[in-house]
Structure 1
């Protein structure tokens, strides 16, 4: 399909036709990778965001894998690159080993989004079964030399998000290529965090890139992060106070601790709080920390932003005071908030386009040595959620996909029960998706009294589920990734410290807690 004059409209039509063909060929397929190809070539056309979305949706739906994907010489911008990143992250096995994207229209922010999406992902770097090594994705962007500003932005992103890239190494006998990496730190059998090869001629320069490290270290490292402030809760406080992780004129990212509710139109939030003096606002926040029932996060947002005349949405209960998505009461992690009407609409659109979300969870049971990563593509039925507070795995529900990997294996010193610490990338964002998928796989979440009643262990005080990362574009078109390691949920960190580490990457110097 290269050099045939395809624009978005023609690509959409072609994808519709191909979808019907692939569906007819394997109508009842429910396994892993459905179709494989050596090369998929759409280079030298006029494909932009609509065409990229249609193509990537097709490849993701039928789980198409290929060795080489050629998309050079098109009109792909940052949003088109976002569609591509979603496809590349949709499986526990890398769907592409070599990706050519030269002569397109994306900016450095699009590159950061692509690399940030591959970072921490279970499928990257790519496992090469023939060499039994992890190999970075072979990525070709521009033939011309990257600017110093772009190299510095890349170096800063690698440092902040705890991932690495290889600029191509060469020895006397061999050099890096699509199927191998001669970088000494990338060639071990242990999974590392070097996710991509970039063109050496384009990206080598003054800005030094961080060297590769153990993949799992990113989940426990606080390197490059601002120091988390100590809780302002008093001795009688029942929960930690939310913290501000990111803020601009229109958006904010707030770390929601366990014990805060995202329920719409909560009781006990008084609009007059916006007129309180600073000392009175702090006193009111202290009462939220100490109240027995789950505290409304909307109340904290009103106290935090409501007094600012520019933050009109945070005073509007009909717009949930800026909340555009939710976390369960016991779940902790970063949340995107719109402070202004412009920011609120933008944040809602980001949710529709696909906000990046990574979670860490502890589940009951262990996994076989050959099953250290996997994926679940089971539909979620939410029709009974309002009545029962639960969802179910049902073929008639909404499509849902979760990709996961085992970070560490633990054992209770008292009961000898096995547990597995998982990292999960949410490909889709359905209600209770992760909890329902893991329950269906026979590994319910630790502390989940809703989906696994009667199995709550003594060492964990709550549902063991923490969102460690969120990614989105702000209104300036900048790719934003906020990392929130497990230490931000101290009760979960302490819970792991009560267990014995018995396997997985926890034994490889990654910094995971445990005896």
Structure 2
């Protein structure tokens, strides 16, 4: 527990730190006692100044930024809210997906089936994802495609729902993939690979990269 920061730190300065989040751990605590182990609680035990900026789903790995000053939190949070950050993910999806495109379909919470979200074209909150095919290969004899995903908006479960909507769910996704697609990999094949934003103090563009583990 105590070496979590050492093992996963990508960058640190006075205003923020960048962590390589492993898959399978929450960003913030859940509502029940058994869901209190999470990235921010582990970091707070080592660095009490840690402040939340954004989140990744429990099963998503990759770049996660935490503030170390109130100014850092305010500045970077504002950039997320105003879509001034640049984020790219990699995913492995089911089937043979070719080319590139944009998915422009609202994603909303499904209150009848928590914690699921659904694509709802009738909703007025936009959700926009750009995708690009990178390579094709097979897992256990099944055709899959590695894709680059760029979320323009930041809705909950957006990338997972959008790939399901496209007909190519993310491999290992226990919420949105078929049982056959879920068992092809032991984890959700979604990873936050790259993030850039303006430094809170210098306003220079800073970019961080976290290698894809699958």
Cα displacement (A) at 1:245: 1.1
1:446–1:457 Cα contact (<8 Å) kept: yes
Q: Residue deviations 1:284-339, cap 9 Å, x none? A: xxxxxxxx968311222112311xxxx3xx2xxxxxxx122111111101111111
The reply on whether 1:302 has 2:38 as its aligned counterpart is no
Question: 1:263 maps to which residue?
Answer: 28
Residue 377 of structure 1 corresponds to which residue in structure 2?
104
Where in structure 2 are the equivalents of 1:342-361 lying within 5 Å?
Answer: 342-354=71-83, 355-361=85-91
C-alpha change, 1:383 and 1:260, in structure 2 (3 Å) is same
Counterparts of 1:411-426 in structure 2 under 5 Å?
411-412=138-139, 414=140, 416-426=141-151
Q: Find the aligned partners of 2:180 and 2:163 in 1 and give their Cα distance.
A: 14
Distance in 2 (alpha carbons) for counterparts of 1:434 and 1:457: 16
- 1:391 is displaced (CA, Å) by 1.0
Distance 2:170 2:47 in 1: 34
Pick the aligned partner of 2:172 from 440, 447, 466.
447
- What are the superposed Cα offsets for residues 101-123 of structure 1, whole Å, 9 maximum, x if unpaired? xxxxxxxxxxxxxxxxxxxxxxx
Contact map agreement 1:259 1:295 (CA 8 A) in 2: no
Residue 266 of structure 1, CA deviation: 6.4
Displacement of 1:454 in angstroms is 1.2
Q: Secondary structure at the match of 2:58?
A: coil
Q: 1:253 to 1:325 in 2, by over 3 A?
A: same
Shift of 1:347: 2.0
- CA 1:397–1:464: 2 relative to 1, 3 Å: farther
Q: Which runs of 5+ in 2 are unaligned?
A: none
The answer for the alignment partner of 2:131 in structure 1 is 404
Aligned CA distance change for structure 1 residues 448 and 466 (closer, same or farther; 3 Å) = same
Task: Considering Cα pairs closer than 8 Å and 6+ residues apart, tell me whether 1 or 2 has the greater RCO.
Answer: 2
Q: Structure 1 residues 265, 388: CA separation in 2 closer, same or farther (over 3 Å shift)?
A: closer
Q: Distance in 2 between matches of 1:422 and 1:473?
A: 26
What is the deviation of 1:425?
Answer: 1.0
CA spacing shift, 1:347–1:246, aligned 2, 3 Å: same
Q: Which runs of 4+ in 1 moved over 6 A?
A: 265-268
- Which residue is 1:330 aligned to? 59
Instruction: For residue 397 of structure 1, report the CA deviation from its aligned partner.
Output: 4.4
- Judging by fraction of residues, say which structure has more helix: 1
Quick one: structure 1 residues 474 and 265, their matched pair in 2 at CA, closer, same or farther if it must change by over 3 Å?
farther
CA distance in 2 between counterparts of 1:353 and 1:242 reads: 31
| TM-score (norm: length of structure 2) | 0.88
Check 1:397–1:461 CA distance in 2 against 1; reply closer, same or farther (3 A cut). farther
Structure number with the higher strand fraction is 2
- Equivalent residues, number: 209
| Counterpart contact for 2:171–2:184, Cα < 8 Å | no
TM-score normalized with structure 1 length: 0.38
Tell me what 1:438 maps to.
163
Cα RMSD (Å) of the superposition?
2.5
Partner residue, 1:254: 19
Per-residue deviation, 1:457: 5.0
User: Who wins on radius of gyration, i.e. which is larger?
Assistant: 1
- Displacement after TM superposition at 1:459 (Å): 4.6
The whole-number CA distance in structure 2 between the counterparts of 1:255 and 1:467 is 9
